[in-house]
Structure 1
Amino acid sequence: MAKILIVDDAAFMRMMVKDTLKKNGYTDFCEAPDGAEALKLYQEIKPDLVLMDITMPNMDGLEALKAIKSYDSEAKVVMCSAMGQESMVIDAIKSGAKDFIVKPFKPDRIIKTVSSILG
């Protein structure tokens, strides 16, 4: 089963994403509250997919995305943010994100994105 790293500074958002994924058969998760912790965990566990918020303390999602992609160019990262601003979406995709999900999430959007990326 695929290992998924969920990165968001809001614990309730991590729990909501995890619950949505669990209901759809995904069971192997790890969590990080910010980009710095996400990078550290990525290097330790090499997850199959990262679902990452953009706006976080310590290291934001775009910085973490760039750091993860420089560590592993094959990394599969999906960015998530309440700010669906076009420039952020473009920046995330240019930096190597596979997709972008705007909050508030619709559970089927998360599942569709995760299953299309993980196959």
Structure 2
Amino acid sequence: MAKLLITDDAAFMRMTLKKMVTDAGFEVVGEAANGQEAVDLYAEHRPDLVTMDITMPEMNGIEALEKIKQIDPQAKVVMCSAMGQQNMVVDAIQKGAIDFIVKPFDEARIKESISKALSR
């Protein structure tokens, strides 16, 4: 069973995403409310995949993505963004993100993205 780390500064978004991924058969090993927490939890748990919000306090998702890639160049990160953040999404992909999911979350799209990312 694949282990996931969910990162979003909104507790409701983390809860929504956690339910969707656990319903899809994935295990959530950690939840981070900001980029720094995501980096720390990644180092501790080494999940198979990270979902990463882009806009967060303390450290944004793109900075966290870069730090996680320093810890593990093979890390699999899927960015989550609101509409209108396309330039940041392109930046994240160039820095090593595998895919991005647009909010509000679509359950089928999330399953597809995570499965695709894990098969790489």
Q: When the two structures are superposed, what TM-score results if normalisation uses the length of structure 1?
A: 0.95
Question: Runs in 1 of length 4+ with deviation above 4 angstroms?
Answer: none
Q: Percent same amino acid at aligned positions?
A: 59
How much does 1:26 deviate?
Answer: 1.5
Query: What is the SS of the residue equivalent to 2:14?
Result: helix
Q: 1:7-86 maps to which residues of 2 (within 5 A)? A: 7-86=7-86
Q: Distance in 1 between matches of 2:32 and 2:51?
A: 10
RMSD of aligned Cα (Å): 1.1
Q: Which moved more, 1:101-110 or 1:80-89?
A: 80-89
Preserved contact between residue 84 and residue 102 of structure 1 (Cα < 8 Å): no
Q: Distance in 2 between matches of 1:27 and 1:73?
A: 22
* CA deviations over 1:50-93 (Å, ceiling 9, x no partner): 00100000100000001111111000000001144321111010
Gap runs ≥5 in structure 1: none
Query: What is the SS of the residue equivalent to 1:80?
Result: strand
Q: When the two structures are superposed, what TM-score results if normalisation uses the length of structure 2?
A: 0.94
Aligned counterpart, 1:109: 109
